[in-house]
Amino acid sequence: MNHDLLQAIQANVLSPALLFFVLGLLAAVLRSDLRFPEPLYVALTIYLLVAIGLKGGVAIAEAGWARVGLPTLAALLLGTVIPLWAYPILRFLGRFSAVDAAAIAAHYGSVSAVTFGAATQYLDRLGESYEAYASAFLAVMESPAILIGVLLGKLAARGSDTIRWSSISTALREAVLGRSVFLLVGALGIGALSGRAGMDQVGPFFTAPFQGVLALFLLEMGMVAGRRLGDLRKVGGFLVGFGMVMPVLHGALGVGVGDWCGLTVGGTTLMGVLAASASYIAAPAAIRLSLPDANPTYYLTAALVITFPFNIALGVPLYYELARRLVH
């Protein structure tokens, strides 16, 4: 392995965030009685989404829409097209049913805010600056893939019976008004409207504790993933490979797009991370309601137990290293 990449990975391995994730995994595997109540999980996600959104909103106000527009549009396109090739790969190489392939494709086109948060933490640790308005890319990449995935699933299932709530409008509602997208876009808007002066008022609450909250959240995600390790056997080798190969391909694509948009090394890394990440908050809720015939074990295991740990451990440093070479 290349020396620089090894160093980039080493810089990540000893970060509190990743170590807490591993601690969570251990807690689950060793059957510790450690357990977070669901309301705490929900509270931590609300905090993280609002903190990420506010920071990005303030950055938009400072950078101006003109600079944010092009990369945000590129991010939106990236989120829209990823399911279009993920679907045939799953359907014809992975031999998944049409509705399962569509559901998994939706998760990989959509994004993970916590992976994004972990990546910003990684860049901070290295002292690498990045466009803080990248939160806007995160916000626009959550929904499109979910809609594309639901459309693919519906087109494939055309002719069979349809149930009342499984309509495109449900998907649209869930994808756009689901709690994660709603909060993120809302906080972005508040940050953009109130600007730096507003951020100075609420900033201390949303910036200083961010790293600590992220560490707690990753401890919880480690436990969630650890309890589901047994599902890896149920989903088969193809999906395990898919969950690690696709992020690398999408990460490289995202890095290319970020560079093309003229972003810095940090911003390009974040674009790569977003393209590589898979959703496990917005997408599962929307897909469960819009494509109820898809098996949740496949998409949840792929997004949460395979791709999420892969990205926070190896993916983030890898996309950073790619970005460093391409942009410099």
Partner 1 sequence: MTIHPMQLVTIIGESLAREPILKLLREVGAHGWTFFEVSGSGRQGERTGEIPEYSNIQVEVIVPPAVAENLLNRLQHDFFPRFAMVAYLCEIRVLRAHKF
Binding site for partner 1 (CB under 8 A): 35-38, 41-42, 163-165, 220, 223-224, 227-228, 280, 284-285, 288-289, 292-293, 296-297, 300, 304
Nearer to partner 1, 286 or 323 (CB): 286
Nearer to partner 1, 125 or 179 (CB): 179
Nearer to partner 1, 217 or 319 (CB): 217
Helices 38-63 and 210-227 cross at an angle (nearest 10°) of 130
Nearer to partner 1, 228 or 325 (CB): 228
Provide the minimum distance between the beta carbon of 280 and partner 1 in the complex, in angstroms, as a whole number.
Answer: 7
Nearer to partner 1, 140 or 181 (CB): 181
In 3D, which of 232, 319, 308 has the Cα closest to residue 17? 308
Provide the minimum distance between the beta carbon of 176 and partner 1 in the complex, in angstroms, as a whole number.
Answer: 15
Q: How far apart are CA 289 and CA 169, in angstroms?
A: 11
Provide the minimum distance between the beta carbon of 14 and partner 1 in the complex, in angstroms, as a whole number.
Answer: 27
Q: Alpha helices, DSSP H only, in the chain?
A: 3-13, 16-29, 38-63, 65-88, 98-109, 113-126, 135-142, 144-156, 168-177, 179-207, 210-227, 231-260, 265-276, 282-290, 296-300, 308-310, 316-327
Establish how many alpha carbons lie within 13 A of residue 88's alpha carbon, considering only the half-sphere containing its beta carbon: 4
CB 300 within 8 Å of CB 282 = no
Provide the minimum distance between the beta carbon of 300 and partner 1 in the complex, in angstroms, as a whole number.
Answer: 6
